[in-house]
Amino acid sequence: MRLDVERFSLSFVRYDGVLRQRSIQVLHDLTFQLEGGEVLALVGVSGAGKSLLAHALFGILPPNARSAGSLRFDGVPLDDATLPNFRGRHMGLVPQSISHLDPLARCGRQLAWAAERSNLRLTKAQLAERLSTFNLPRTVAHNFPHQLSGGMARRLMLAMATVGQPQLIVADEPTSGLDPKNAENILRTLRGMADAGCGVLLITHDLVQSVPYADRVAILNSGRLVGMETARSFSGAGDELTGDYARALWRAAPQNAFTPEGPIDA
Amino acid sequence: MTFWSIHIATRLVRLALVLAAVAVLSFALAKSSPVDPVNAYLGADIARAGPEQRALIAARWGLDQPVPAQFFHWLGNMLVGELGYSMTYNAPVIDVIATRFRTSLPLMGLAWLFSGIVGFALGILAGSRPDSWVDRGIRLYAYVLASAPTFWIAILLLTVFSVGLGWTPVCCAGPIGVVPEEVTWLQSLHHLILPLAALSVLGVAQIALHTRAKMVEVMQSDFALYARAQGASRREIAIRHGARNAAIPALTVLFASLGELFGGSILAEQVFAYPGLGRATVEAGIRGDVPLLLALALFFSFFVFTGNAIADIVYRVVDPRMDGKLLR
Amino acid sequence: MSDIVDVETPPTTGIWTTNRAATLGAATLGFILLLGVAVGSLSLGSFGLDADFAARLAAPSPGHWFGTDQMGHDMLARTVHGLAVSLQVGLIAATISVVIAAALALFATTCGRWADALVAFLVDVALGLPHLVLLILISFALGGGTTAVILAVAVTHWPRLTRILRAEILQLRQSDFVLASRRMGKSWAEIGIGHFLPHLWPQLLVGLVLLFPHAILHEAALTFIGFGLEPSNPAIGILLSDSLRFLMAGKWWLGLFPGLSLLAVVLCFDAIGNGLRVLADPRREQS
């Protein structure tokens, strides 16, 4: 599988006064590729517009969003006509927070619905098996989302995103709010999926945490792509990094104990 | 369990307090009326009654006592179920309310159910595709009808279906000249259709607008977005997630709308001369039938407040997120 | 405060459209129509109130657009007069209601917890009786007549607005300038008059306009069932109640047009209310 993002821009139309409307651009001219078998980490501070890219890929932007440029999956442009065939079946989304689960539906049911949406009918036993693959106890099926811990909810959403065996997985901040152990667990699972042939787009604000699991790292700042590095080059003092911004970001990480030399965030 | 008992206890105390306040308020209002109850009772016989006779009547009703004493006398009677005597209907108030309630119950009950079911369905339909033509149509219907006077809708229905087309009877709960006991259920239904339609129209509009608003919110929620990202169709999202999440607010509004229902029934029954509680309220007010008016006020407020309490409890019982959080 | 759900004013975003320019346009149109009614009723004078027995119960025609009634009155003229009466009653009643609501909301938020609990209880009691029953009771207590109707409508409609205003003030209480004033030693009463009230003007105005339709509808209902205004005063409720007597004879125009006009007036007020809401808070109403 192959994902092409080409000169993709995104803006929103807002009311600025009583009748005056204004357009605010949030993503500028993004271009990158993602192939099966690799994990691409898209790193940026919160508010940089990372989640919007994920929403754009799945065609779930709010109505006042305007986009330009192209998004292609295996060469097919993703638009309202083609997306219904891709969503769930070829592309899976791991959303950001527990608010993406229906608060009034039992978890087992939501997993079964996710399967149905990928044209699969799961038996009770298969459902339980899916849950245990992601280290979730069987009882989770009878729970409501608010009864799950953060880590369990994340694993459930991972189970839902992957139930249709998609070739592309987009994970939107899958580790935010999790303790290091749970976070590593999630990242390791994503890495495993890439090793099995999937393309994984890992959207995160945590550079240091994602580097060990990624093949490449794209850095987003104020809606612009400011660097594309191999994950390997994030080591030592970051001398192998090609971009200044990437180097500054790497050195600024508390674990690396370097003093920042440049602007971290505009 | 303790949460429950505390919650229910607070509810009961509040119900008692509100009912007491309504009793005081109603009694004070009735007492301050310039309509003289003795004159109201005498009606056409007013000229034939001498001062002694009037004093006798006043004494029998305790009207010669100071007002607070009258109030407590009346309240004591109410508490033991002694609701007094209705001069308008020449029968004990309790009997009047019982008979009229039986007539009104099918009308109000069916209108209530109908509002809930049709209103909810329309709201789901409209809210699942905001700003589509279906939504615009439903919104226009609901908005216009929620703004139209109920009694005018009733008049229009009467004009078209009873006078114009002759499909439905023009008044009452049964054919004229037939005693209530001999009216068949088919005849009852025939006489019920128009008042029911008039009364449902407003309820449907309200429930539909509330459901639509919730539905629009749900369709924009994170979980609806996520369902779409999983490949769910709009229809599927509307049914699985929308209806599920809009049901609790709709149920709450439905239970909390009993006051509106009673208000509407007063007007609808007036237009169709339907002999129910609503018409009795109007008669009691116009003829100065104080015992009946007061009893009806308490009766209605008991239902309204109970409806609100149920609305509150339903919300806490049905919503799984509320477990163990009965007290805010 | 009170957990009674607001059933009577369902949430809406305008009838036809959520488009802002259209909302404001509808508001302007509504305003012009209402102005037309007011001016029309003044310029009509007593025209249409004089009987013309030559033209009794005439169907709508170019001479009498809305037809005539049993006394030969022109129904269009009577309807315009009736609407003017409704507007007057509605204006006075809604204004009184808004004043009561503002006073109680300020009282509840600035005079301590007991004041808050008391206001909450009052709201419960006022909403615990169906509106129409309360209206009948009040009208009965005052012995009917125009003043009774105005007062009855006025004292029935404050609870919902009180609740909205109270919530608004509680939000204001958290704001920096209020906290600063507190630290400077100002009392809640001073802050209430000095800070809350000026900030509430837009809410009060919108509240007033949105109360109007309820006030008018309830006035008409009360008049219709025979409690309200004197029969000589041709309010819409009386016109509609009269129309029932001639319904069987097929005189449909007596009921259709006055009711339709009342509906139009209510919709005009809704349009104006929605327009004002956009103007009062342009940012919050993002779609």
Q: For B247-299, what is each residue's pLDDT tens digit?
A: 888 888 888 888 888 888 888 888 888 888 988 998 888 888 888 888 888 88
pLDDT at B2: 65
Cα–Cα distance for residue pair B296/B308, rounded to 1 Å = 18
Instruction: Report the greatest alpha carbon distance in chain A.
Output: 57
**Interchain contact, A15 vs C21, CB within 8 Å:** no
Which residues share a beta bridge with A94? A171
Yes or no: say if B37 and B288 are a contact pair by the CB < 8 Å rule: yes
pLDDT at A190: 92
* Residue B231 tokens, joined: 């490949």
SS (H, E, C) chain C: CCCCCCCCCCCCCCCCCCCHHHHHHHHHHHHHHHHHHHHHHHHHCCCCCCCCHHHCCCCCCCCCCCCECCCCCEHHHHHHHHHHHHHHHHHHHHHHHHHHHHHHHHHHHHCHHHHHHHHHHHHHHHHHCCHHHHHHHHHHHCCCCHHHHHHHHHHHCHHHHHHHHHHHHHHHHCCHHHHHHHHCCCCHHHHHHHHHHHHHHHHHHHHHHHHHHHHHHHHHHHHHCCCCCCCCCCCHHHHHHHHHHHCCCCCCHHHHHHHHHHHHHHHHHHHHHHHHHHHHCCCCCCC
Q: Which of residues A94 and C237 earns the better pLDDT score? A: A94
Tens digit of each residue's pLDDT (9 = 90 or more) over B54-69: 777 777 767 777 778 8
Which B residues, 244 through 303, put their C-beta within 8 Å of a C-beta on chain A?
244-245, 248
**Interchain contact, C283 vs A18, CB within 8 Å:** no
**Interchain contact, A60 vs B228, CB within 8 Å:** yes
List per-residue pLDDT tens for chain B, 328 residues long. 566 677 778 778 887 888 888 888 888 888 877 777 677 666 666 667 777 777 777 777 677 777 788 888 888 887 777 777 787 788 888 888 888 898 888 899 999 999 999 999 999 999 888 878 888 888 888 888 877 888 888 888 888 887 778 777 777 777 777 777 777 777 777 878 888 988 898 889 888 988 988 898 888 889 999 999 888 888 899 999 988 888 888 888 888 888 888 888 888 888 888 888 988 998 888 888 888 888 888 888 888 888 887 877 777 777 777 654 443 3
Chain B environment of A144 (Cβ under 8 Å): 320-321
* Residue A115 tokens, joined: 């399967």
**Interchain contact, C129 vs B308, CB within 8 Å:** no
With cut-offs at 50, 70 and 90, classify the pLDDT of residue C7.
low
Q: Which of A15, A63, A64 sits opposite C282 (nearest CB)?
A: A15
In chain C, the residue whose alpha carbon lies closest to the alpha carbon of B166 is: C248
**Interchain contact, C283 vs A64, CB within 8 Å:** no
Tell me which CATH code domain C20-47+62-286 carries: 1.10.3720.10
Query: Above pLDDT 90, what percent of chain A?
Result: 24
Q: Strand order of the sheet with strand A21-35?
A: A76-77, A65-73, A2-15, A21-35, A224-230, A216-221, A39-43, A199-204, A168-172, A91-94
Instruction: Check whether A266 has a pLDDT greater than 60.
Output: no
Burial B30-47 (b: 16+ CB within 10 A, else e): beebebebbebbbeeeee
Q: What is the pTM of this model?
A: 0.81
pLDDT at B1: 53
**Interchain contact, C24 vs A17, CB within 8 Å:** no
Instruction: Check whether C6 has a pLDDT greater than 70.
Output: no
Which A residues, 14 through 53, put their C-beta within 8 Å of a C-beta on chain C?
14-15, 17-19
Question: What are the CA-CA distances from residue B69 to residues A225, B61, B63, B86 (Å)?
Answer: 84, 12, 10, 21
Residue A13, φ and ψ in degrees, nearest 5 = -100, 125
Q: How far is CA B187 from the centre of its chain?
A: 24
- The angle, 0 to 180 degrees and rounded to 10, between the axes of the packed helices B150-157 and B258-272 is 40
The overall average pLDDT reported for chain B is 82
Cα–Cα distance for residue pair A64/A141, rounded to 1 Å = 37
Q: What burial class does residue A20 get, using C-beta atoms within 10 Å of its C-beta: 0-12 exposed, 13-18 middle, 19+ buried?
A: exposed
Chain A environment of B228 (Cβ under 8 Å): 58-60, 87
CA count, 13 A, side-chain hemisphere, C116: 12
Question: Which residues lie closer than 8 Å to B8 by C-beta, 6 or more apart?
Answer: none
Question: What are the CA-CA distances from residue B33 to residues B11, B28, B55, B86, C130 (Å)?
Answer: 33, 9, 19, 17, 20
Yes or no: say if B273 and B279 are a contact pair by the CB < 8 Å rule: yes
Task: Tell me, yes or no, if A51 comes closer than 8 A to chain B by beta carbon.
Answer: no
pLDDT at C232: 67
Binding partners of C (≥3 Cβ pairs within 8 A): A, B
Yes or no: say if B194 and B154 are a contact pair by the CB < 8 Å rule: yes
Sorted by where each begins, the domain ranges of chain C are 20-47+62-286
Chain A environment of B321 (Cβ under 8 Å): 103-104, 144, 146
Sorted by where each begins, the domain ranges of chain A are 35-67+84-90+166-265, 97-165
Q: Which residue from A89, A53, A98, A54 is spatially nearest to B232, judged by alpha carbons?
A: A89
**Interchain contact, A100 vs B319, CB within 8 Å:** no
Chain C environment of B164 (Cβ under 8 Å): 250, 252
CA count, 13 A, side-chain hemisphere, A122: 22
Length of chain B: 328
Query: Above pLDDT 70, what percent of chain C?
Result: 79
Q: What residue spans of chain A are helical by DSSP H? A: 50-57, 83-86, 107-117, 124-133, 150-162, 180-195, 207-210, 244-252
Count of CB atoms within 10 A of residue B273's CB?
13
Task: Tell me, yes or no, if C139 comes closer than 8 A to chain B by beta carbon.
Answer: yes
Residue B325, φ and ψ in degrees, nearest 5 = -120, 50
Among the listed ranges A210-219, A224-233, B67-76, B234-243, which one has the minimum average pLDDT value? B67-76
* Residue B189 tokens, joined: 């239904």
Cα–Cα distance for residue pair C264/C30, rounded to 1 Å = 9
The topology under which CATH files domain A35-67+84-90+166-265 is: Rossmann fold (3.40.50)
Rg of chain B in Å (alpha carbons): 24
Residue A257, φ and ψ in degrees, nearest 5 = 55, 35
State the smallest CA–CA distance between residue B314 and chain C in angstroms: 13
The overall average pLDDT reported for chain A is 86
pLDDT at A201: 94
Q: Which of B233, B236, B321 sits opposite A103 (nearest CB)?
A: B321
Count of CB atoms within 10 A of residue B326's CB?
18
Q: Which of B22, B26, B206 sits opposite C10 (nearest CB)?
A: B206
Q: Which of C137, C213, C227 sits opposite B26 (nearest CB)?
A: C137
With cut-offs at 50, 70 and 90, classify the pLDDT of residue C272.
confident
With cut-offs at 50, 70 and 90, classify the pLDDT of residue C15.
very low
Residue B30, φ and ψ in degrees, nearest 5 = -65, -40
* Residue B17 tokens, joined: 């307090």
Report the relative pairing of strands A168-172 and A91-94 from DSSP bridges: parallel
State the smallest CA–CA distance between residue C5 and chain B in angstroms: 6
Yes or no: say if C168 and C207 are a contact pair by the CB < 8 Å rule: no
Q: What is the mean pLDDT of residues C204-212?
A: 79
**Interchain contact, A100 vs B320, CB within 8 Å:** no
Q: How far is CA B66 from the centre of its chain?
A: 34
Cα–Cα distance for residue pair C56/C73, rounded to 1 Å = 8
B289 secondary structure, DSSP code: -
Cα–Cα distance for residue pair B10/B100, rounded to 1 Å = 32
Count of CB atoms within 10 A of residue C260's CB?
15
Chain C environment of B257 (Cβ under 8 Å): 7
Cα–Cα distance for residue pair B146/B167, rounded to 1 Å = 26
State the smallest CA–CA distance between residue B207 and chain A in angstroms: 21
Burial B69-101 (b: 16+ CB within 10 A, else e): ebbeebeeebeeeebbbbbbbeebbeebbebbe
Q: Which residue from C247, C240, C248, C196 is spatially nearest to C217, judged by alpha carbons?
A: C240
**Interchain contact, B297 vs C129, CB within 8 Å:** yes
B61 secondary structure, DSSP code: T
Question: Which residues lie closer than 8 Å to C8 by C-beta, 6 or more apart?
Answer: B206, B260, C160, C214
Binding partners of A (≥3 Cβ pairs within 8 A): B, C
- Type of residue at A231: A
Residue C279, φ and ψ in degrees, nearest 5 = -70, -35
Instruction: Check whether C286 has a pLDDT greater than 70.
Output: no
Chain B environment of C140 (Cβ under 8 Å): 29-30, 33, 35, 285, 288, 293
